[in-house]
C-alpha cells in the first residue's frame, strides 16, 4: 500500500499568472497595473525540500518577512514527529518500543507530539473505513519487496514463508489508545513488539494542510501548496481564475507533461493522486509495483491504473488515493460513492484492455471539459 520514501506520482500543476520571488520574500504588498489601468495582485513563489521530495508554493504577496523560515521550521517539526528517516523522531520511538509499554508520559501527552497524533488518528480512521486496505503498518512488506528505505532491489525468488511471517506483524489493530481517567490523559500502546508504523502515505498531505493552516492564520486569501504532488488550494490564481491541476496519463513511459485530465478547483480544497506506473520493476514477465496489498503481502495487481481524490483536507485525499490503489477499481468505486468526505476520479483498464474512466458525482464539478 505504501510508497518508498514518500513516493507519490507527479501531477502537473498549471502555474498560471505572474510568478515572482523564487525564495525571497517581500516586506511590502506588491501590485501591478495592467494595460487597461487595472490594478493586479502579484503572486510570489516559494520552493524548498522536505520529506525526500520538494515543495512548491504560490501565494498572493503579503507582508511577511519570515514566512519561508516559518514554513521550513514547521516542516522540520512535523518530521520530528512522523518521519522514520529522522533517527530520534517520535514515530521511531514508538516503533522501537516493546509490546504493552506506555509510549508517552501521560502527563505530557496532551500537549506533545501533535503531528504524530493527528496522523495516527487519521490513519486509524481510514484503516477502519477501508476494511484494512489502508494500513500504515505495512512497511516491512514494502522493504521485503525492495521498495522501502532498505534500498531498491528486485526479488528474483519469492519466499512465501517469509511473507507469511511478516504478515503476522501487519495490522493497525495491533496499536491502540487508552484514556486514563485518573490522569486525564491519552496513552498509546502496541500489542506486538514487531509492529511498526509508517505514515508515508498521508504525512505529505498532512504537511500541506499544516502550511494551509499557517496561511489561514495570516489571512492569506489566495494560495497554492504542493508537496511531492499532494496539493491544497484556496481562492484564485494571479489571473483571478480558479486553480487548475492536471492528472497524468497513467502509462509506462508517459512524460510528466502528458495530461489525461485537468481539474478546475472552483471550490478550493485538496487533491492527491496515486498510481503504479512510475514505481515498479519486472522480473521476467512479472511486473511488481510499489503498491502492496496488506491482506496478501504481495504487490497489488489489478485493473486500476490511477486514483485521484479530492477532499477538503489533503491528508484525507492522500490516504484514500493510496487505499484505492490497493483496493482495485470495483471496491474503490463502491466505497467512494459512500464517503461523504471525498470525490474520486479513476483511470482503469477494462477486461478487454481498453483504458477508461469513472468518477463520483461530485467530481464532475471539477473536470475540465
Write out the DSSP string of 105-150: -HHHHTTS-HHHHHHHHHHHHHHHHTTTSS-TT-HHHHHHTT-STT
Average pLDDT over residues 293-314: 92
Which CATH fold would you assign to the domain 75-190?
A: T-fold (3.10.520)
Least confident among 38-42, 315-319, 332-336 = 38-42
41 or 102, higher pLDDT: 41
Residue 96: burial class (beta carbons within 10 Å; 0-12, 13-18, 19+): exposed
Positive/negative CA dihedral, 235, 6, 134, 283? positive
Average pLDDT over residues 309-313: 98
**Quick one: the chain helix, strand, coil %, rounded to 5?**
30, 25, 45
Query: What phi, psi does 88 have (nearest 5°)?
Result: -105, 20
Question: Quick one: pLDDT band at residue 31, thresholds 50, 70, 90?
Answer: low
Residues 46-76 have pLDDT tens digits of: 999 999 899 999 999 877 778 999 999 999 9
Positive/negative CA dihedral, 165, 166, 167, 169? positive
Residue 280 makes CB contacts below 8 A (sequence gap 6+) with 287, 288, 289, 290
Residues 175-212 have pLDDT tens digits of: 998 877 776 677 888 889 999 999 999 999 999 999 99
Residue 78: burial class (beta carbons within 10 Å; 0-12, 13-18, 19+): buried
Per-chain mean pLDDT for the chain: 84
Distance CA 65, CA 26 (A): 7
DSSP 367: B
Instruction: Report domain extents, the chain.
Output: 75-190
As given in the structure block, the three cell numbers for residue 260 are 489525461
pTM of this structure = 0.86
As given in the structure block, the three cell numbers for residue 199 are 505514515
Q: What is the pLDDT of residue 181?
A: 76
Distance CA 322, CA 306 (A): 10
**pLDDT of 367 higher than 80:** yes
The CA-atom distances, in angstroms, between 316 and each of 29, 206, 219 are: 33, 8, 23
Distance CA 308, CA 321 (A): 6
Amino acid at each position: 500500500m505504501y510508497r518508498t520514501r514518500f513516493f507519490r506520482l507527479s501531477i502537473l500543476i498549471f502555474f498560471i499568472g505572474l510568478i515572482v520571488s523564487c525564495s525571497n520574500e517581500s516586506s511590502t504588498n506588491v501590485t501591478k497595473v495592467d494595460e487597461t489601468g487595472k490594478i493586479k495582485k502579484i503572486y510570489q513563489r516559494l520552493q524548498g525540500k522536505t520529506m525526500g521530495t520538494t515543495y512548491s508554493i504560490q501565494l498572493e504577496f503579503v507582508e511577511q518577512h519570515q514566512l519561508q523560515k516559518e514554513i521550513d521550521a514547521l516542516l522540520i517539526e512535523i518530521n520530528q514527529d512522523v518521519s522514520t528517516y529522522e533517527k530520534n523522531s517520535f514515530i521511531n520511538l514508538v516503533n522501537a518500543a516493546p509490546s504493552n509499554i506506555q509510549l508517552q508520559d501521560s502527563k505530557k501527552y496532551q500537549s506533545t507530539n501533535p503531528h504524530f497524533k493527528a496522523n495516527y488518528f487519521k490513519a486509524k480512521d481510514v484503516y477502519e473505513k477501508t476494511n484494512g486496505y489502508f494500513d500504515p503498518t505495512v512497511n516491512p512488506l514494502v522493504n521485503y519487496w525492495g521498495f522501502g528505505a532498505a534500498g531498491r532491489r528486485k526479488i528474483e525468488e519469492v519466499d512465501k514463508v517469509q511473507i507469511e511471517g511478516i504478515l503476522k506483524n501487519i495490522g493497525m489493530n495491533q496499536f491502540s489508545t487508552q484514556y486514563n481517567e485518573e490522569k486525564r490523559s491519552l496513552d498509546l500502546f502496541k500489542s506486538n513488539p514487531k509492529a511498526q508504523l509508517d505514515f508515508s502515505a498521508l504525512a505529505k498531505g498532512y504537511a500541506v494542510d499544516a502550511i494551509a493552516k499557517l496561511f489561514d492564520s495570516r489571512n492569506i486569501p489566495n494560495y497554492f501548496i504542493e508537496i511531492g504532488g499532494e496539493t491544497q488550494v484556496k481562492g484564485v490564481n494571479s489571473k483571478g481564475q480558479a486553480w487548475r491541476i492536471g492528472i497524468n496519463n497513467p502509462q509506462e513511459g508517459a512524460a510528466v507533461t502528458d495530461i489525461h485530465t485537468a481539474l478546475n478547483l472552483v471550490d478550493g480544497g485538496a487533491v492527491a493522486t496515486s498510481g503504479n506506473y512510475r514505481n515498479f520493476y519486472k522480473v521476467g514477465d512479472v511486473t511488481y509495483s510499489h503498491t502492496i496489498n496488506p491482506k496478501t503481502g504481495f504487490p497489488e495487481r489489478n485493473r486500476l491504473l490511477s486514483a485521484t481524490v479530492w477532499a477538503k483536507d489533503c491528508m484525507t485525499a492522500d490516504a484514500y488515493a493510496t487505499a484505492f490503489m490497493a483496493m482495485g477499481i470495483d471496491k474503490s468505486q463502491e466505497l467512494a460513492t459512500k464517503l461523504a468526505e471525498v470525490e474520486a476520479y479513476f483511470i482503469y483498464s477494462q477486461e478487454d484492455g481498453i483504458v477508461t474512466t469513472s468518477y463520483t458525482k461530485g467530481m464532475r464539478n471539477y473536470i475540465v471539459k
